[in-house]
Amino acid sequence: MTLRVQDLNFSYGSRAVLQSISFEALPGQVTAVLGANAAGKSTLLKCLSGLLKPSGSIALDGESIADMSPHRRAHAVGAMVQDIGAPARLTVLETALLGRLHALTLKVDPREVERVMGVLRRLHIEALADRLLTELSGGQRRMALLAQALAGSPRLLLLDEPTANLDLPNELEALRLVRAMTAESGLVTVVTLHDLNVTARFADRVVLMGEGRVIGSGAPEDTLTPALIERAYGVKTRLLRDGDRVVIVPEG
Amino acid sequence: MKKMFWLMALIIAAAAVPACAEKKAVVDVLGREVSVEVPARRVVLTFNFEEYVAATGAEGLDKVVGWARKYWEGRRQSTWDAFAARFPHIKDIPDVGYIPKNTFNTEAVMALAPDVVFCAKNDAKKIPDEVKRLAEAGIPVVFVDYHDQTVENHVKSTLLFGRIMGQEARAQALADWYRKCVNKVYDRVPKLASRPRVYMEFSGDKSGPAAVGSSWGKLMWGALIERCGGTNIARDLVPGSDAPIAREAVLAADPEVIVLAGNYRGDAALNVGLGYEAKPERAREQLAGYMSRPGWEGLSAVKNRRLGALYHDLSRHIFDAAGVQFLAKMIHPAEFADLDPQATLAEFYEKFFPVPLTGALMVTLD
Amino acid sequence: METHSSYARQSKRKCSLLLVFAALLLLAVLRDVTTGAAGLGFKQVTAAVFAPDSVSPTARAVVWSLRLPAALTAAVVGASLGLAGAVMQTILANPLASPYTLGVGAGAAFGASLAIVLDLHLASLPPEYIVPLFAFVFAGGVCLVVAMLGHSRAGSSAVMILAGIALLFLFQALQALLQFFASEGDLQAIVFWTFGSLQKAAWSKLGITAAILFAALPLVLCDAWSYTALLLGDERAESLGVRVASLKRRAFVLVSLLTAAAVCFTGTIGFVGLAGPHIARALCGDDQRFYLPLSSLCGALVLSAASTLSKSIVTGGIFPIGVITALTGVPFFFALALRGRWTR
């Protein structure tokens, strides 16, 4: 159930956004994609989710995602993008139910409702089930969309900046959950993150991007080195050891 | 030498007299005092062509240097065709635009340098600026009116035409004829005891009896129905000048007389086509078609076969005397048995109109 | 388990909302059938319907040829416009959208005007069908052009919208031109047509409009969940498995058919397709399974009420129904806005 990306190229018009991207993401592992703004992280995720059609190959379990029918792709991939534009007057439960679009009929099967409620409980947002999206904070809405992505029982989970707008405790809790669910269900999880330290704590693998290319990929301790970080972000950093944890500190 | 001088002066003076047209003051139907060259030699007409020609004859027609072609050609096609056949030169008369469509072209009028411009009273509020500009250019505008459907305005307007065009005798004869014809009805109506219920409808929609045409409230045919001794069932149901009334209202009112105002197309497929090319039998057939409207078989008018149709232009024209007589005869057949509207119309054409009367302009069911 | 039953309760509530409005519609139609210039009351109307031979021929004619077709047409046309408007507002993600937004109404009006002015006679077609036929054909033409353009640039609903608006302006301009050259009689006929009228209602015409409505309803409901997904944005819906471009095209064709079948007979009655969806949304939210049919019912209610009102204002006269729908719809709008339930 591996995700294999080979020689991915994508341009917006004449502007090359992704160049020769290649990496692997393994099941049961959280793969974090890092890079400066405009390094191409969101674009990469959109290519992985099938929304954009790049050149090169993206294969999940040997099957090309681009060649899948929308129906099949919806089954296989659960994506959570940065917040939706104008939230609709749907409840959290209804939003999450949409993750099971293929199984929904005019009269909704109570088992589907129960399954989705289970996902909400896992994410500790079952109390928000009947609240309208419009009434929620950005972070809560994000959790509802995460529930939607998970409700479809995907094989590939794509999360774009899942912890933006979340305060510290919620950020940690969310990532802990994602890690746990990835391990339990054997998902291939690809996440874009901005915080280097959080990444170091929660990611099993890191893909570091710079200007549309992969600068480095591998285990966090091998990828998050001051040299590569400076290449990616243009910032000098220092590594500090705190017991068995590594903390990355910007210099200056 | 002195004798020669005086002789020359006399000859010159004598030659000058016929060429001298005086400026006279006339009062038009709006009560405006207008100073006009009498008799006028160059005329621009924007409305009421038939009345102008009836009052001033072929001579008057010769003096028209510009007119609103859209008044005639296309709207009253059969009349236009008849005139164009008799007077081919009218096809070359320049078009000055049509006021109701806001295309009146002041510049074109000024370029024609007319002595007078005739307009309809109802157009007055559309062209106040144009009237002023024309006045500043020395071109007087005179308003006439036949739309109000009053004897007074009909007569006054006709006499105005006559006075300004130097055809006073002819216009007077026309006005007298009109007054005589309509008074045969208007004088008797107050003495009539009953006021039968009348339903009038415009038969113009291209769907024929399947669609409901407009009826009239207190104006035009609506007013005429009342003046001819009838009760207009649509009188209080029409907010403006004309609009269709609910089919149910007709059924509820149970009219005793039904009259359709037919349109211009003589060869209309479904409506009651009346006009110069119309055939009476055909018109009668189409009229009969209305009796099969849903629910109409129960109406008094249908049961007694009191249906008729007349040319829509037999109102607000100088020859509407025939229309008035026809309507009166339909509403009170016994009291007006001596009237012959068709003969009245024929009389008008014979005496005052340069084209012949053809076709069918009035029909009754039987 | 507690929230699950709350969801079930919500769904039940929305279902009963639909039933309540259906009942209200029935009452409205009843009221409409018993209103009219002929002064026939409830008793006489029911007698005319169930025991036609017991009433006078006039009463029979009034009920069967005039009142019933008109009242049912009001309900069916209102339902069609309400449904079409609801779908439009969803696929265009715009609460100001109506069935006429992408030019279908303008096309229909131009077609009708053309037929009125041209005075055509087609051999086998009864004359009262010529204007509706032209209206339908031109409305269909707009639909075809917009749908085809949406197809060629796959997924580009922006292209569809631009095309629709361009056609809207084109046909409005062509109509103005036509009105300029039309004779007075034709002009009045054109204006009356655009006001909208239930006066020409007939059983055969009603049958056509109703057939299209009842065929479209299940087709729309089939996609109800996909429409709900659309509410979260095109990209979101796409990743949930919805073929967005294809759905929008399908939706637009249905909207056009519904609208064309309704207005070709009655003229472009305004506001119903705008108010129906708003009322429905305020009452039951965005779940398209309930919103779409409720919008249809609300549209039918508005037009039915307007029909009754148009007969009551001037008993015997005909008040343009398009004016009345705007006048009855506006108070609704204000009430909703003031309650702060302004959605999206």
Quote the number of domains for chain C: 1
Pair type for strands A29-35 and A77-80: unpaired
DSSP state of B272: -
* Tokens matching residue A231: 């290449």
Residue C340, pLDDT score = 62
pLDDT: is B55 or A38 the higher one? B55
Per the prediction, chain B carries an average pLDDT of: 87
Chains C and A are touching, with contact defined as 3 or more CB–CB pairs separated by less than 8 Å? yes
Tally of CA atoms within 13 A in the half-sphere of C338 that contains its CB: 6
Cβ of residue C9 closer than 8 Å to a chain A Cβ:
no
Cβ of residue B58 closer than 8 Å to a chain C Cβ:
no
SS3 B73: coil
- Angle at the Cα of A98 (from A165 to C228), degrees rounded to 5? 100
Residue A83, pLDDT score = 64
Residue numbers in C near A135 (CB within 8 A): none
Cβ of residue C343 closer than 8 Å to a chain A Cβ:
yes
Yes or no, beta carbons of C318 and B74 under 8 Å apart: no
What is the predicted ipTM?
A: 0.86
Pair type for strands B307-311 and B257-262: parallel
Number of inter-chain CB pairs under 8 A, B vs C? 93
* Tokens matching residue B352: 């005052």
Residue numbers in C near A93 (CB within 8 A): 3, 7
Peptide bond into B100 cis (omega under 30): no
Which chain C residues in 153-192 lie under 8 Å from chain B, judged by CB atoms? 180, 183-185, 188-189, 192
pLDDT: is B36 or C53 the higher one? B36
Q: How many C-beta atoms surround the C-beta of residue A219 within 10 A?
A: 11
| Per-residue burial over C252-267, b = 16 or more CB atoms within 10 Å of its CB, e = otherwise | bbbbbbbbbbbbbbbb
Residue B264, pLDDT score = 64
pLDDT band at B11 (very low <50, low <70, confident <90, very high): low
pLDDT band at B9 (very low <50, low <70, confident <90, very high): low
Interval C82-118: pLDDT, tens: 999 999 999 998 888 999 999 999 999 999 999 888 8
Q: Residues, chain A, total?
A: 252
User: Which of A68, A89, A157 is best to mutate for the C interface (most C CBs within 10 A)?
Assistant: A89
User: Which of C116, C134, C177, C318 is best to mutate for the B interface (most B CBs within 10 A)?
Assistant: C318
Q: Which of B272, B265, B250, B267 is nearest to B203 (CA)?
A: B272
Cβ of residue C65 closer than 8 Å to a chain B Cβ:
yes
Instruction: Judge whether C4 lies within some domain.
Output: no
**Picking from B230-234, B276-280, C230-234, which range would have the lowest pLDDT averaged per residue?**
B276-280
DSSP state of C204: H
Pair type for strands A29-35 and A55-60: unpaired
Pick the residue from chain C with its C-alpha nearest to B242.
Answer: C188
Domain spans, chain B: 18-185, 194-364
Fold of the CATH domain B194-364: Rossmann fold (3.40.50)
Strand partners, B196: none
Yes or no, beta carbons of B248 and C67 under 8 Å apart: yes
Q: Which of B157, B290, B147, B302 is nearest to B224 (CA)?
A: B147
Instruction: Judge whether C305 lies within some domain.
Output: yes
Residue C53 has pLDDT above 60, yes or no: yes
Amino acid identity for residue B235 in this structure: R
Q: Rounded to 5 degrees, what are φ and ψ at A32?
A: -100, 135
Q: Average the pLDDT over B216-239 and give the result.
A: 90
Q: What percent of chain B has pLDDT over 90?
A: 55
Chains A and B are touching, with contact defined as 3 or more CB–CB pairs separated by less than 8 Å? no
Instruction: Judge whether C95 lies within some domain.
Output: yes
User: Chains near C, with 3+ CB pairs < 8 A?
Assistant: A, B
In angstroms, the CA A99 to CA B319 distance is 80
The answer to whether residues B315 and B221 touch, using CB atoms and an 8 Å cutoff, is yes
Q: Which of C100, C72, C81 is nearest to C261 (CA)?
A: C81
Instruction: Judge whether C250 lies within some domain.
Output: yes
Residue C213, pLDDT score = 97
DSSP state of A102: G
The yes-or-no answer to whether B18-185 and B194-364 have a common fold is: yes
CATH of residue C145's domain is 1.10.3470.10
Q: In sequence order, which ranges of chain B are alpha helices (DSSP H)?
A: 2-16, 49-62, 69-72, 77-86, 106-112, 128-136, 151-165, 168-186, 221-227, 247-253, 280-289, 300-303, 320-331, 341-352
Pick the residue from chain A with its C-alpha nearest to C239.
Answer: A74
**Picking from B5-9, B135-139, C138-142, C261-265, which range would have the lowest pLDDT averaged per residue?**
B5-9
- Angle at the Cα of A154 (from A153 to A158), degrees rounded to 5? 130
In angstroms, the CA A139 to CA B268 distance is 73
Residue B175 has pLDDT above 60, yes or no: yes
Interval C277-327: pLDDT, tens: 998 998 888 899 999 999 999 999 999 999 998 888 877 777 788 888 887
CATH 3.40.50.920 fits B18-185, yes or no: no
Residue C209, pLDDT score = 95
Yes or no, beta carbons of B210 and C199 under 8 Å apart: no
User: Which of B202, B206, B311 is best to mutate for the C interface (most C CBs within 10 A)?
Assistant: B206
Q: Å from C87 to nearest chain B CA? A: 33
Q: Name the residue range of residue C279's domain.
A: 17-338
Interval C225-260: pLDDT, tens: 999 999 988 888 888 989 888 899 899 999 999 999
Q: What percent of chain B has pLDDT over 70?
A: 93
pLDDT band at C343 (very low <50, low <70, confident <90, very high): very low
Per the prediction, chain C carries an average pLDDT of: 88
Q: Average the pLDDT over C63-92 and give the result.
A: 94
Pair type for strands B257-262 and B197-203: parallel
Global pTM reads 0.84
Residue C150 has pLDDT above 80, yes or no: no
* Tokens matching residue C323: 């004016």
* Tokens matching residue A248: 């990355």
Residue B206, pLDDT score = 62
Interval B89-115: pLDDT, tens: 999 999 998 888 788 888 899 999 999
Residue numbers in A near C225 (CB within 8 A): 98, 101, 104
DSSP state of A209: E
Q: Which of B261, B247, B335, B327 is nearest to B293 (CA)?
A: B247
Yes or no, beta carbons of C226 and A101 under 8 Å apart: yes
Q: Which of A140, A132, A148 is nearest to A89 (CA)?
A: A132
Amino acid identity for residue A226 in this structure: P
Cβ of residue C200 closer than 8 Å to a chain B Cβ:
yes
Q: How many C-beta atoms surround the C-beta of residue C181 within 10 A?
A: 12
Residue B3, pLDDT score = 76
Torsion angle in degrees (nearest 10) through CA of C150, A58, A142, C342: 0
Q: Average the pLDDT over B312-328 and give the result.
A: 91
Strand partners, B304: none
Pick from A79, A129, A132: CB nearest C239? A79
User: Which of C14, C18, C220, C232 is best to mutate for the A interface (most A CBs within 10 A)?
Assistant: C232
Residue A200 has pLDDT above 60, yes or no: yes
pLDDT band at C3 (very low <50, low <70, confident <90, very high): low
In angstroms, the CA C262 to CA C321 distance is 14
